[in-house]
Amino acid sequence: MIRFTAYNMPKIELHCHLDGSLSPALAARLLKDAGEDYTVEQLEHLLAAPMNCGSLSEYLKCFDLPLLALQTKEGLFLAAKDLALAAAKEHVVYLEVRFAPSFSTKQGLAVRDIIESVNNGLKEAEKEADILTSIIVCTMRGLDMETNLSMLKEAREFLGAGVCGCDLAGDEKTYPTADYKELFSYAKKNGMPATIHSGECGSTENIRAAISLGAKRIGHGIAMAGDRELMELCAREKIGVELCPTSNLQTKAVTDFSTYPFVEFLRAGIPLSINTDNRTVSDTTLTDEFMRLADAGMLNDAACEKVYKASIAGCFCDDDVKQTLWKKWASLFAI
Q: Which of 200, 229, 242, 264 is catalytic?
A: 200
Start-to-end Cα distance in the chain: 20
Q: How confident is the model at residue 50 (pLDDT cuts 50, 70, 90)?
A: confident
Rounded to 10 deg, the angle between the 111-128 and 145-156 helix axes is 50
Task: Answer whether 62's CB lies under 8 Å from 178's CB.
Answer: no
Per-residue 3-state assignment (H helix, E strand, C coil) for 132-178 = EEEEEEEEECCCCHHHHHHHHHHHHCCECCCEEEEEEECCCCCCCHH
Q: What is the spatial distance between Cα 332 and Cα 335, in angstroms, rounded to a whole number?
A: 8
Return the DSSP state at 27: H
**Backbone phi, psi, residue 273, to 5°:** -125, 155
Q: What is the spatial distance between Cα 197 and Cα 241, in angstroms, rounded to a whole number?
A: 10
- 269 or 61: which leads in pLDDT: 269
pLDDT in tens, 191-247: 999 999 999 988 999 999 999 999 999 999 999 999 999 999 999 999 999 999 999
Give residue 335's pLDDT: 52
Average pLDDT of the chain to the nearest whole number: 94
pLDDT in tens, 65-90: 999 999 999 999 999 999 999 999 99
200 is catalytic: yes
pLDDT in tens, 279-310: 999 999 999 999 999 999 999 989 999 999 99
